[in-house]
Amino acid sequence: MDAEYLCMLLVEVLKMPVCFLDQDSNIKVSFNYGASNNPLHKDQGKLLRELFEQTDHLTIPIIKSTPYYENYFAVKLIEEGRFKGTFVVGPSAYSAVTSEMAEALVLNHNFSLGIKRQLIHYYNGIAIFDYTRLMNASILLYYCIYKEQLRLREVMEKNSSLSEVSQKMNDNIKESLSKNRQNIFFHHSLSGERRIFNCIKMGDKEKLLKYSQNPLDGEVGILSKSSPLRGRKNHAICSVTLATRAAMEGGLDSETAYTLSDLYIQEIEELKEIKDLTELDIKMQCDFADRVKKVREYKYSRPVNLCQRYILKYLYEEISLGGIAEWVGVHPNYLSERFRKETGLTIGQYIHRERVEEAKRLMETSSYSLLDIAAWLRFHDQSHFARVFKKYTGMTPSKYRAERS
């Protein structure tokens, strides 16, 4: 097999560095893509040897991670029963590494603060592959080499370090249930939990606040063995997850709900006091309830609601009446007339109004130029953007931004 040719193809397809290690784990072929070298690694060859030196017995794809948010996968090349070397692909990251994460990395590992800028530059060039996508990429490489199909679940299980978890859970639950009975400790009831989240689903903040003042009919579970603060943070994150689901069941669009969930979880991680977590939990639940109430106040039909959701989801894309109608599953003329009758706006007017609202948010929260904002939101040109913006706000975009700067 031509290892160099396969490496070259992998770089072009996966858009991440690829190398081939010989039988002694020395780098024989190497192709970079975009990302500079991680300043925290002095010797890339040594890093790869350390990551994969204990995997000689594995012939399937291997996934390994570093303490610095990086992931690699490797597939060994065996021809005619002889080990020829190892293809290694990476680094990639499961999600974007922010400047805050880079700074935390520097502080937690006592690195020099001067290295932060290099780290941010490095992480900006890393490909983003979630775990499943990374695993499928490794299976694709394996198939290219051996023409053998692997099941995703099989490869995940071979790469898992959780083989003993099931037995551990089975043993621990028996012991924990026994201790709970001895100490008269019982978790809060499902019915009490349902009352709270049903209030969110119905958009009823007043009733939610009334229920939240009542003492729990049980105890909060222990979600961290080592830290009460960490345990309460985990509990708060669970609460955000349940509130998000309840809000979506109540009619809040999924993109808004998930984005709000992300922001609240980020805020939870920043807090240092248990009392603040309790207060934030109530504020979060009320926020979701208020948003559901606002959605439920607009008693539009299902086709109109779906139309609005489609427009909000694809606000930065070209939107056509035919495309919306096909997605909603109705005739374009029927949708157009139904939308105008229920909302008092044509679909085109609604699109313009929502794009103006999005433009206002961008001007308030970013330094993007008006030209860029107009282009991203699909206005024909800056003049068209200014006319539409003034129609819905009474002022030009430049004046709007100046008043809020």
pLDDT digits (tens, 9 = 90+) for 60-98: 899 998 888 899 999 999 988 888 999 999 899 988 888
Same domain, 150 and 24: yes
Residue 268 placed within a domain: yes
Retrieve residue 182's tokens: 């001895």
Inter-CA distances, 83 with 22, 257, 353, Å = 9, 51, 63
Quick one: average pLDDT of 196-204?
A: 87
Give pLDDT, residue 186: 44
Structural domain range at position 323? 302-404
CATH number of the domain at 86, please: 3.30.450.20
Give pLDDT, residue 191: 64
Q: What is the pTM of this model?
A: 0.52
**Number of neighbours of residue 71 by Cβ within 10 angstroms:** 21
What is the sign of the dihedral through the CA atoms of 297, 291, 209 and 180? Answer: positive
β-bridge pairing 127-128 and 82-93: parallel
Place of tokens 């939101």: 377
Give pLDDT, residue 180: 47
**SS3 call for 60:** coil
Give pLDDT, residue 119: 83
Same domain, 238 and 120: no
Assess whether pLDDT exceeds 60 at residue 216: no
Helix ranges (H only) for 183-330 are 190-202, 205-212, 228-249, 254-270, 274-297, 302-313, 321-328
Per residue in 113-147, pLDDT (tens digit) is 778 788 888 888 889 999 889 999 999 999 999 99
Same domain, 37 and 98: yes
Same domain, 245 and 368: no
Same domain, 13 and 58: yes
Which of 233, 267, 297 is the last residue before a domain boundary? 297
Same domain, 240 and 261: yes
Same domain, 324 and 287: no
Higher-confidence residue: 31 or 58? 31
Range from 51-55, 259-263, 304-308, 351-355 carrying the lowest mean pLDDT = 51-55
Retrieve residue 114's tokens: 């001067």
Residue 44 placed within a domain: yes
Same domain, 68 and 99: yes
Angle in degrees, 0-180, between the axes of helices 205-212 and 274-297, rounded to the nearest 10: 160
Measured CA to CA, the distance from residue 8 to residue 6 in angstroms comes to 5
Please report, rounded to a whole number, the percentage of residues in the chain having pLDDT higher than 70.
86
Same domain, 210 and 64: no
For the chain, the residue count is 405
Assess whether pLDDT exceeds 60 at residue 218: no
**SS3 call for 201:** helix
What is the sign of the dihedral through the CA atoms of 272, 274, 279 and 285? Answer: positive
Same domain, 261 and 308: no
Residue 174 placed within a domain: no
Give pLDDT, residue 345: 93
Rounded mean pLDDT of the chain?
Answer: 84
Quick one: average pLDDT of 283-291?
A: 91
Give pLDDT, residue 385: 95
Which of 281, 297, 313 is the last residue before a domain boundary? 297
Which of 280, 297, 314 is the last residue before a domain boundary? 297
Domains held by the chain: number: 3
Retrieve residue 235's tokens: 């509990």
**Number of neighbours of residue 146 by Cβ within 10 angstroms:** 14
Retrieve residue 201's tokens: 């689903």
Per residue in 326-355, pLDDT (tens digit) is 999 999 999 999 999 999 999 999 999 999
Residue 125 placed within a domain: yes
**H or E stretch including 30?**
strand 27-31
